[in-house]
Amino acid sequence: MAHPSRSFAAASCLVGLFVMGTLVPTHASAAEIIKLGLSVPLSGAAANWGKGGEWLCKQAAQEIAKSGGVKVDGKVYDFECIAYDNKYNAADGTKVAQTLLTRDNVKFIGGSLGTAPVRALQSLSERDGVLLFTTAWGKAIKGPKFPLTFTQMNTVYEISKPLVGYVKQANPGIKTVALLNPNDATGQDVESASRASWEALGVKVVSSDWYERGTTEFQPIAAKIAALKTDAVDLGAAPPPDAGFVFKELKALGWNGVKVVEVGSGAEGILATGHEAAEGVYMGAAMTFDSPATTAKQKALNDGGKAATGESLNAIQIGFYDSVYALKAAMEKAQSIDPKRVAAALPTVTFESFYGKSAFGGAASYGSAQQILVPVLVTQLKDGKLAELQRIAPEELKSR
Amino acid sequence: MQTVFQILLTALQIGAIYVLFSLGLTLIFGVMRVVNFAHGQFFTLAALLVAVVDPWLAAQGWSGPFAYFGAVVAGIAAALALGAIVYRFGFRYFQRDLTGSFILSVGLVLLCEGVFLDVFGGSVRVVPPVVRGDVAILGANIAAQRLVLGGVAVASTVLLYWVLAATRFGKAMRAVSIDHEAAMLQGIPCERIAFQGFLIATTLGAVAGALIAPISAVTPVLGADYLVKGFIAVIIGGLGSVPGAIVGSLFIALIESVGGFVFDPSIANMAIFVLVMIVLMVKPNGLLGRG
């Protein structure tokens, strides 16, 4: 026969649990989670881009959650950003792709950085029906053959012409230019676009050289470029720390021409390594946050991003914010979280991006509307600070 | 002519770091007959500590050179501590075991890289140069900081040479590297010599890392590129040969400088690998290696 006190204790527990079950509100209406995978460099010269992108993805996800989440088919969804380090190379990009798609079962890639790792990811994402956002600059990365791939920032095909055009106009004496790019898929894409932009303006490309990512010694190549005595040097896809080192070596060797970095994304990174040699650099992917046009929200996000990463936000990272809002708009328009239906809805929606109203377009250039429509900003480092020289809004966006 | 001299000057100052790095590698092989792929981690740890401690000391009010010197001491001390641990619990048991030491050192590389990434983060860290400005030498320009780096590398190499050639300890180390059994029979404490040799090698790697920090992008994977080039230099010069390590390092630096100038850094890197293959086919023990 059971001891009376033990029976009483067991009964009390059962009653207590019953009471808790009825009195404590259940979360029947709690938001479900949609995972957004991120394939980004979190180490090496491009680590700041990846870390900033991850931070912005999480900010956008939090903002959307606070404003009520994504409402689809009577349910509410929140986003969760999961980032892995692709180390800006195909081998690690493949590992990240397998982890995100196979282990984590992610259906949406909120952002991916680096053409080589993105190609590895895309070979799986298109096959598995996963929607992919990318900052990769290759023209061949999107198009009708890749219906689930969308570019979340301006690429070199949007940036190069206005940037190089502005530089040539401001420095009409430029007759020769030397190009230097990282020796990978990103560098190859940038080189072909920037070469075309310079040659279209009658500037002779005297040399086009390559270096391996991870290079720490730039003196030999700087010696070569300095010996050529070109009017300008375009460092294309070189991340800011690499670009700073190259300009520093060029300055030490006595070269003092016009400096351009197409993927130049901010002052801090290039100043940290280039110091005074970085003065006057023209950049195509940077953004200023102290101009009259800066909104309070942009400033607040930049302050947060700077605290988190140590540098101001840039166009590459901002793409990771915009893609989250684009997804929300497309999911709510399609009233579905099926990647293929969301992808079909994306070209038809407008959404509030970091820059203001935005959409996807570019069918005339790429064969299908998979390019985000955001302004191109031409900036320059003056007296250690970034100054916006020109802002070009996409024509296609004006009609949306 | 000025261009040629610029290329040579570039080669010398690039080679200075490779010499320091590869001396450590060749010393470990000479004394312990192990190939230590984790040598790059001592180099990286020292550079990372310098990148972290230097700005911290500067914020405490230390002036530039003193902050850097303090950071260098911290970096070398940390690398020595890591080296002592790695030897005591690892390499000590794999002396004269190439396969075992290879597996151990590769594992250490993965472990250290992961720990460094976690502790220091993956972003590039920059150390302000201790000596600013450029120096012109016979029409060729070199950053003053690089000149200092070269000077310290030369002084360290000369010191190591003197220790090996003229001190009792150096003679004992050479005896162990030539024939450790005969050295034991002579009463030389091989175990202690191996440990001390390992620490000297670690110090050389750490000094190289501390010197490269102000002129390089310091990341947790900084040592990887130098490890590959350091090994190539040692293989070209001859495993276990100190003069060989110096010759190999300067040779690599010359290829890098000339190749980078005439072609580009990518082709220069390829040329280095092609050359090491040629050397191994012609002289499998390296240019100055023993049989």
pLDDT digits (tens, 9 = 90+) for B146-199: 888 888 888 988 898 888 888 988 888 888 888 888 888 888 888 888 899 999
Task: Give every CB contact of residue B276 below 8 A, 6+ residues apart in sequence.
Answer: B232, B235, B236
Position with higher pLDDT, B224 vs A296: A296
Question: Average pLDDT of chain A?
Answer: 90
Give the closest of B10, B122, B265 to A212, CB-based: B265
Q: Which helix (H) or strand (E) holds A99?
A: none
pLDDT at A259 > cutoff 90? yes
CB contact under 8 A, B124 and A252: no
pLDDT bucket at B267, cuts 50 / 70 / 90: confident
B 111-140 → A contacts, CB under 8 A: 117, 121-124, 126, 134
pLDDT bucket at A12, cuts 50 / 70 / 90: low
Characterize the bridge pairing of strands A232-234 and A176-182.
parallel
How many angstroms separate the CA of residue B96 from the nearest CA in chain A? 33
Domains of chain B, by residue range, sit at: 2-222
What is the structure's pLDDT at B291? 54
Characterize the bridge pairing of strands A258-261 and A350-353.
unpaired
Separation CA A344–CA A334 (nearest Å): 8
Q: What is the pLDDT of residues B27-49, one digit of tens each?
A: 888 777 888 899 999 999 999 99
pLDDT at A389 > cutoff 70? yes
Task: Give every CB contact of residue A355 below 8 A, 6+ residues apart in sequence.
Answer: A318, A322, A374, A375
Average pLDDT rounded to a whole number, residues A14-42: 67
B209 closest CA partner among B15, B23, B21: B21
How many angstroms separate the CA of residue B8 from the nearest CA in chain A? 10
How many angstroms separate the CA of residue A126 from the nearest CA in chain B? 30
What is the structure's pLDDT at A8? 52
Average pLDDT rounded to a whole number, residues A175-203: 95
B210 interface with A at CB cutoff 8 Å: no
Separation CA A359–CA A340 (nearest Å): 18
CA distance readout (Å), A336 to A63, A76, A125, A350: 21, 11, 19, 17
A219 interface with B at CB cutoff 8 Å: yes
CB B124 within 8 A of CB B131: no
CB A78 within 8 A of CB A32: yes
Separation CA A379–CA A385 (nearest Å): 10
How many angstroms separate the CA of residue A326 from the nearest CA in chain B? 29
pLDDT at A58 > cutoff 80? yes
What is the structure's pLDDT at B118? 86
A68 secondary structure, DSSP code: T
B287 closest CA partner among B242, B249, B232, B237: B237
Torsion angles phi and psi, residue B98, rounded to 5? -65, -45
What is the structure's pLDDT at A248? 92
B86 interface with A at CB cutoff 8 Å: no
Separation CA A320–CA A41 (nearest Å): 13
CB contact under 8 A, A47 and B121: yes
Residue B207: both structure tokens together = 């000094």
CA distance readout (Å), A314 to A47, A153, A320, A376, B287: 13, 10, 11, 12, 51
CA distance readout (Å), A184 to A49, A119, A188, B262: 17, 12, 6, 20
The crossing angle, in degrees rounded to 10, of helices B242-262 and B265-282 is: 140
SS3 B181: helix
Q: How far apart are the first and last CA of chain B?
A: 40
| Half-sphere exposure at residue B226, Cβ-oriented, CA atoms within 13 angstroms | 36
pLDDT at A352 > cutoff 90? yes
B83 closest CA partner among B141, B25, B139, B170: B25
CB contact under 8 A, B217 and A41: no
pLDDT bucket at A172, cuts 50 / 70 / 90: very high
What is the structure's pLDDT at A1? 42
CB contact under 8 A, A211 and B266: yes
Percent of chain A whose predicted confidence (pLDDT) is above 90: 74
pLDDT bucket at A187, cuts 50 / 70 / 90: very high
CA distance readout (Å), A62 to A56, A107, B259: 10, 19, 51
A228 interface with B at CB cutoff 8 Å: no
**Dihedral of alpha carbons B137, B142, B143, B149, sign:** negative
pTM of the predicted protein model:
0.82
Q: How many interchain CB pairs under 8 A, A with B?
A: 109
Task: Show contacts of A332-338: CB within 8 Å, 24+ apart.
Answer: A332/A70, A332/A71, A332/A72, A334/A72, A335/A72, A335/A73, A336/A72, A336/A73, A337/A34, A337/A72, A337/A77, A337/A107
pLDDT at A20 > cutoff 50? no
Q: What is the pLDDT of residues B122-132, one digit of tens each?
A: 878 888 888 87
What is the structure's pLDDT at A388? 92
A225 interface with B at CB cutoff 8 Å: no
Find chain B residues with C-beta within 8 A of A309's C-beta: 123
Tell me how many degrees the CA angle B101-B76-B43 measures, rounded to the nearest 5. Answer: 50
Find chain A residues with C-beta within 8 A of B117's C-beta: 43
CB contact under 8 A, B220 and A43: yes
CB contact under 8 A, A47 and B3: no
Separation CA A225–CA B261 (nearest Å): 8
What is the structure's pLDDT at A7? 52
pLDDT bucket at A22, cuts 50 / 70 / 90: very low
B265 interface with A at CB cutoff 8 Å: yes
Residue with tokens 């082709």: B267
Give the closest of B7, B14, B122 to A44, CB-based: B122
A181 closest CA partner among A258, A235, A247: A235
pLDDT at A178 > cutoff 90? yes
Separation CA B205–CA B201 (nearest Å): 6
Task: Give every CB contact of residue B208 below 8 A, 6+ residues apart in sequence.
Answer: B17, B20, B21, B24, B43, B46, B153, B226
Beta strands in A104-254 (DSSP E): 108-112, 131-134, 149-151, 176-182, 204-211, 232-234
Average pLDDT rounded to a whole number, residues A355-373: 94
pLDDT bucket at A26, cuts 50 / 70 / 90: very low
Find chain A residues with C-beta within 8 A of B120's C-beta: none
B143 closest CA partner among B88, B211, B196: B211
